[in-house]
Structure 1
């Protein structure tokens, strides 16, 4: 993975983790993820960022190993909690943890969108080697058809960007860093993973709740944002909306 995210580490909690939108989207992920944590003891998190999810999982009494490619992200995470945080690249994750076994592999908020199709296919082909029998993956990914983003670019009259996610890759600006980004609809992930994993569930994350870059606009509209949150929870079981949301959660189980 090319991007290091060291620059993003400085402001990540301010621009996402601690925003109202970030908290709402993360709560949606936790609510759905919690349904798939029975019989889980050991969890490997990839692209853990500043450690927010690892800390939450540890508080639920799971054994968590959390990794990120960015030493700065890991540095911030370690300043928050004394957990097993480790610098590691997604593309070499199975080699890094060769001989170890985990019940769940977790990736939140688009970390896997940094992988090309060939890299992602290789990731799925190799990852079952570090998962226990019937081990699962819980992956939060950005799709190609996000309606909020299309509406945003339409209001800005940036017409060439409306369909940008449908390109093979785009350069996304993430807190001071240019990141090559690939977008995948749920069907893309199902097809890439089907040789090794079966699909258990697909849930929209952020169909009504907007992307975090709109948090400033909604800062003084907490009532309206709360209304959108209630709408979001009402459509949580409508899986086909996932490809139009800001993110989606897909649960895969080892064959």
Structure 2
């Protein structure tokens, strides 16, 4: 199964390289860092702390036996964790290289039969052909949904694909991050300190730039549509910093442990979602009868 997936993804990569099949700028950017993504980000001490907290939340939301859709799976870290708990996952991404790594890692961990991969463009949600009410839920972590502003079409597509009563759980990079603003302002980097406040900025990976959108939680919830109702909202990354500051904090393990403890205490507080680097929002698919 994994060999077939990898072969299909390799053909897609060849098409993308030849121009027959075009990837958006964000897809091209993440193609370039796919092979080093785990070493640079996934395996960093800060990321491990944040992910452990997120996994605890997700475990309470999606039990073993569920079938989930993941948007922006990256190198498959979350999909593999779910599969090891007996959850089936359709892991999707815009980067063929990321999907190939996900399939390979799932096979290496012995859960290749529980993790499928599929190329999916968030900017073309209205063209998706996902099966109707096939999924028990959907999740997306680490700001994948900030790479699009197509949230209304996304909400409609997922309302079609997720069963009534199923949940959508997303982390999105927030409009305001207290720790990012304070850190960069203290270092005189005013442009970075306030880059999110306009709701849109440009991200750069290597020579490739692409837009990043910063919705408020209210803006995102409204755009997602009336088919969904709010269940939970909390902050993620209140005291632990954004990824561009991981390296600075990783050199101070004692401080990192203290901030991790503070993070766990502060996350359930109502105000946390408006101060954190990212907010975690859980929406429930409404019944239509």
Confirm or deny that 1:88 pairs with 2:111: no
Larger Cα-atom Rg: 2
CA distance in 2, matches of 1:173, 1:19: 21
CA distance in 1, matches of 2:133, 2:166: 13
CA distance in 2, matches of 1:151, 1:8: 28
User: Is contact 2:148–2:213 with CA below 8 Å preserved after alignment?
Assistant: yes
2:162 to 126, 131, 140: 131
1:167 to 194, 198, 215: 198
Tell me by how many angstroms 1:14 deviates.
1.7
5+ residue gaps, structure 2, are 1-23, 107-111
Confirm or deny that 1:53 pairs with 2:53: no
Question: Which residue of 2 is the match for residue 114 of structure 1?
Answer: 147
1:241 to 272, 276, 280: 272
* TM-score after normalising by structure 1: 0.92
Tell me by how many angstroms 1:102 deviates.
0.3
SS at the partner of 1:198?
A: strand
1:217 to 231, 234, 248: 248
> RMSD in angstroms over aligned alpha carbons?
1.8
1:18 to 34, 40, 43: 43
User: Is contact 1:68–1:86 with CA below 8 Å preserved after alignment?
Assistant: yes
5+ residue gaps, structure 1, are none
Question: Which residue of 2 is the match for residue 180 of structure 1?
Answer: 211
What's the CA shift string for 1:154-193, capped at 9, x where partnerless? 1331223322102242111246642310001212122222
Larger relative CO (CA 8 A, sep 6+): 1 or 2?
1
